[in-house]
Amino acid sequence: MTDETGGPVRPRRSRLRPLAPDRVRILDGFWAELQDRNRRAILPHIDHWLERAGWLGNFAADPGDRRGREFSDSEIYKYLEALAWELGRDPDPVLAERYDAIVARVAAAQQPDGYLNTWFGRPGQGARWSDLAWGHELYCLGHLIQAAVARARTGHPDDLLVRVACRAADLVCATFGADGLATVDGHPVIEPALVELYRVTGEPRYLEQARLFLERRGRHVLPEIEWGREYYQDDLPIREATVFRGHAVRAVYLAAGALDLADETGDGELLDAVTGQWRRTVARRVYLTGGIGSRHQDEAIGEDFVLPPDRAYSETCASVGSVMVAWRLLLAHGDPVAADLIERTLYNVVATSPAADGRAFFYANTLHHRAPGPPPDPDRPHPRPTAPVRAPWFDVSCCPTNVARTVAGLSGYVATSDDDGIQLHQYVTGTIDGRLTVTTRYPADGEIRVRVDQDSDEPWTLSLRVPAWAGDGATLTVGGHTWEAEPGYVSERRRWQRGDEALLCLPMMPRFTHPDPRVDAVRGCVAVERGPLVYALESVDLPDGMGVDEVRIDAETPPRLVDGRVVVRGRRISIADRESPYAAEPPSVVADDLGEIPLVAYHAWANRGPSSMRVWLPTD
């Protein structure tokens, strides 16, 4: 083994170095609460449903009794990854026993040559590798490998799961190597997984196999389908693409693998290509919440500025993948835009998916829901990922396990180091690298206090991110001196001594956000944000019987913070019905003043019963 510590990704050549999860402790605040919910409720809930749905049982079941979709093995692996990060964060003998029991079931199902899949290869099932476009065999193994990497990086490099993953990876290399099957899986994720396994083990075959998979994709090795080969990014070689396109989760997982390969091989051309694709995507194809994917039929990224709020698919898994890509670009370039997007996506999509009790989830994350939906049956999986309320489980339940593994590993996205010092990218109350203690109520307020816990003989630089939304008004105070802090990173280099403090103050007044006029669907609307949080109007905060689509916002009166709640001034409109929605004259509109209307943080909507909701609020 070559590296036994580190977070979800550990590049070798990047400008910034990620701190290992055990070097960052989240102790209080928003993310500590979510991590506590993850451990206390989300993980047990997932475990219950994996058993109840029979997906865990597939590893020991007769092939004829197999249950779930072709990719259900991957949910067990993502769950194991979540357990690995969680055990690395806070060891627990009961949780460790459960982890070991599941790994034993998985290992027992592995074939002598390393093959492992419960959908293919057994009597009565399809042959191995017989449906790479849709079968998800390599996709499942990619998640197996990522779980093993998490276990290795939390202090268990010789764990049984690591050995299982290496045997499977050896088979992949033997089967799909330079003299093997010259094709790829329809759903990327094996690519970043193999690079990370190479980083953990030092086995060069894994890196070479990742390179082969990435270079083959885009050369029409997969069949043409109704949504085109762009659905699985097989339309263009990755170096020739200009923007992320096709199925959103596939797109970001592939980009993550390409960035990992570029780092390991020093391939600046590949790094530049993916960086350019990401910048164009962020500028034109990402929702205000950080979500990506506006097309329901193929779960895909839409065209430039096609971002309808009521048709936002914005799959939770795609946002997890988006964070993976942005983190790699942050490490590569030190780009504050990447750190800002991570913050936006974590607070407004990843944190939105789980319910307040941790026992129901959004799969898709709409920005406009027109009518309250019925509450889901808590004892049945929901067949539709676009459920208007959070559901306890889905027939395709990729998102709960993705949320669980991301939340368990959140400490890996907080801070980095380089030869000159430490950089803080996300603000949490906790300890950093044994050198810093951070105290903050962020995002409830904008005061972040950083105390130095060690004396230093040589000067070093502390860098703190100032989000782009902070604009004017952010300040940094060190040693009794205060100065303005521009968006990006504000740095102070000195010979820090134990007890020294840096105080970053970010302006946290609520604000209106205006859309690009090329986003047709929200022209004439405004959104409200405070700090990193997007806010929404929810019908439970309106008079009985009133829907969110009846409200118009007074954009001339800025939003305010009143008793801890963000409020806007608005009016209720009523429009007389006509025989047709079209006429030569505009309809008559009656408006009644509603005064100040409270908004809810988007991540907290739909926790008070069925409701309608909208993020973009019309002003006319």
Length of the chain in residues, anyone? 620
Give this prediction's pTM: 0.97
- Specify the 3-state DSSP secondary structure of 31: helix
Say if CB 368 and CB 616 are below 8 A apart. yes
| Euclidean distance between CA atoms 464 and 423, whole angstroms | 6
Identity at 487, one-letter amino acid code: P
Residue 438 has pLDDT above 90, yes or no: yes
- 421 dihedral zone (left: phi>0; alpha: psi -120 to 50; beta): left
pLDDT classification of 382: cutoffs 50, 70, 90 = confident
Whether the predicted pLDDT of 242 surpasses 70: yes
Query: Phi, psi at residue 33, to the nearest 5°?
Result: -65, -40
Residues with Cβ within 8 Å of residue 329, at least 6 apart in sequence: 259, 275, 278, 335, 338
Domain parsing of the chain, residue ranges: 17-413, 415-505, 511-618
| Residues in Cβ contact with 87 at an 8 Å cutoff, skipping those fewer than 6 apart | 95, 96, 99, 154
- CATH no. of 17-413: 1.50.10.10
**The predicted structure's pLDDT at residue 113:** 98
Structure tokens at 363: 């799969």
CA-angle at 98, arms to 412 and 346, nearest 5°: 30
Q: What pLDDT digit, counting tens, does each position of 569-616 carry?
A: 999 999 999 999 999 999 989 999 999 999 999 999 999 988 999 999
Query: Tell me, what amino acid is at 199?
Result: R
pLDDT band with cut points at 50, 70 and 90 for residue 127: very high
Q: Among residues of the chain, what percentage have pLDDT more than 70? A: 99
Q: How confident is residue 373, by pLDDT bands cut at 50, 70 and 90?
A: confident
> What residues pair up with 120 in beta bridges, in sequence order?
126
Q: What single-letter DSSP state applies at residue 543?
A: S
Can you say how many angstroms the Cα of residue 488 is from the centroid of all Cα atoms in its chain? 22
pLDDT band of residue 378 (cuts 50, 70, 90) is confident
Q: What is the pLDDT of residues 132-180, one digit of tens each?
A: 999 999 999 999 999 999 999 999 999 999 999 999 999 999 999 999 9
Lowest mean pLDDT among 84-98, 378-392, 543-557: 378-392
Name the nearest CA neighbour of 136 among 396, 316, 319, 409: 396
Model confidence pLDDT, tens digit, residues 33-88: 999 999 999 999 999 999 999 999 999 989 999 999 999 999 999 999 999 999 99
Residue 620 CA to residue 611 CA, distance in Å, equals 23
C-alpha to C-alpha distance for 552 and 25, rounded to whole angstroms: 44
Which amino acid appears at position 307 of this protein?
A: L
Q: In Å, how far from its chain's centre is CA 268? A: 26
DSSP string of 307-371, one letter each residue: --STT----HHHHHHHHHHHHHHHHHH--HHHHHHHHHHIIIIITTSB-TTSS-B-SS--SEE-S
CA pair distance 555, 51, nearest whole angstrom: 51
CATH of domain 415-505: 2.60.40
If you write DSSP's letter for every residue of 106-149 in order, what string do you get?
HHHT--TTS---SSBSSTTSBPTTS-TTTS-HHHHHHHHHHHHH
Q: What is the mean pLDDT of the chain?
A: 96
pLDDT value at residue 3: 45
pLDDT band at 379 (very low <50, low <70, confident <90, very high): confident
For residue 550, which of 541, 562, 559 has the smallest C-alpha distance? 541
- The order of strands in the sheet holding 415-418 is 17-18, 415-418, 421-424, 460-466, 488-494
The angle formed by the CA atoms of residues 379, 382 and 385, to the nearest 5 degrees, is 150
Task: For 72, list phi and psi in degrees, rounded to 5.
Answer: -65, -25
Beta strands 551-553 and 560-562, pairing class: unpaired
Strand-pairing partners, residue 364, are: none
Using CA atoms, how far residue 543 sits from 131, 291, 526, 597, in Å, is 54, 30, 22, 10
Query: How confident is the model over 170-222, as pLDDT tens digits?
Result: 999 999 999 999 999 999 999 999 999 999 999 999 999 999 999 999 999 99
